[in-house]
C-alpha cells in the first residue's frame, strides 16, 4: 500500500510542476501581448501626424466620440 501512496504523491508533484510551468508561460505571453499592444498604439499615434501639443486634444476627442457611441449602443440595447 505504501507504494501506491508514493506513486500518488509523485504524480501530485509532477502535476504541480507542470502547473507552475504553465503559469510562468502564461505570464510571459501576457507580457508579450501587452508589449505588442503598446507598440500598435504607439504606431497608431505616430501615424496621426499631429504636433505633440495637439495630440492630447485629438485623443480626447476620440475618447468623447467613442463614449457617445457606447452610450447610444447601450440605450438601443435597453430598448429591446
Chain segment 14-33, per-residue pLDDT in tens? 999 999 999 999 999 999 99
Mean pLDDT across the chain, nearest whole number?
Answer: 86
- Pair (42, 69) in one structural domain: no
Residue 55 in contact with residue 45, Cβ under 8 Å?
yes
What pTM, to 2 d.p., does this model score? 0.59
- At 6 the pLDDT is 96
Mean pLDDT throughout 47-68?
80
- Pair (13, 33) in one structural domain: yes
- Pair (3, 20) in one structural domain: yes
Residue, of 61 and 20, whose pLDDT is higher:
20
CA angle 77/78/80 to nearest 5° reads 70
- Pair (69, 35) in one structural domain: no
What is the helix (H) or strand (E) element at residue 44, kind and residue range?
A: helix 2-47
φ, ψ of residue 51 in degrees (nearest 5):
-60, 145
Domain count, the chain: 2
Domain that holds residue 55: 51-80
- Pair (58, 25) in one structural domain: no
Amino acid at each position: 500500500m505504501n507504494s501506491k501512496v508514493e506513486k500518488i504523491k509523485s504524480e501530485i508533484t509532477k502535476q504541480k510542476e507542470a502547473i507552475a510551468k504553465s503559469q510562468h508561460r502564461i505570464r510571459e505571453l501576457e507580457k508579450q501581448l501587452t508589449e505588442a499592444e503598446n507598440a500598435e498604439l504607439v504606431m497608431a499615434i505616430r501615424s496621426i501626424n499631429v504636433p505633440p501639443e495637439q495630440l492630447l486634444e485629438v485623443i480626447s476627442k476620440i475618447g468623447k466620440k467613442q463614449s457617445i457611441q457606447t452610450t447610444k449602443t447601450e440605450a438601443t440595447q435597453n430598448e429591446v
